[in-house]
Amino acid sequence: MPRNRTVVALEKEDLLELTAAAGPLAAAAALAHAPDAGADGYALVLQRLVGADPAAWTADVPGVLAALARPELGAFYLAAAATAARHPDAFPTGPAEAVLAAFTLSRALPAPASQHLPDAAEFAGRAWAGLLSFVWRTGGDLGDDLPAVLDHLRGLAEPLTHPAAPSPPAGSPDTPAPSVAGPVGDRAGGEEELPTGLLDTHPAVRALGCLLEYAAGQATEDGRMPGDVLRLVADVLAAHLLTRPTPAYDADVRRHARALLQAAAALPETERPAQTEQLRRSLVEAGEVDLARTPTTAG
- What whole-number distance in Å separates Cα of residue 243 and Cα of residue 163? 11
| Residue 208 neighbours by CB distance under 10 Å | 28
Report pLDDT for 69: 95
Quickly list H helices, the chain: 12-22, 24-32, 42-52, 54-58, 61-68, 71-83, 96-108, 120-138, 146-157, 203-222, 227-238, 247-266, 276-285
Stated pTM of the model = 0.74
Query: How confident is the model over 54-84, as pLDDT tens digits?
Result: 999 999 999 999 999 999 999 999 999 999 9
Q: How confident is the model at residue 16 (pLDDT cuts 50, 70, 90)?
A: very high
The average confidence (pLDDT) of the chain is 77
Q: Is 50 left (phi over 0), alpha (psi -120 to 50) or beta?
A: alpha
Please state the domain extents for the chain. 1-94, 142-162+198-299
136-152 pLDDT, tens digit per residue, is 888 777 888 988 898 89
Q: pLDDT value at position 267?
A: 72
Report, as an integer, the average pLDDT of 212-238. Answer: 70
Q: Check pLDDT > 90 for residue 237.
A: no
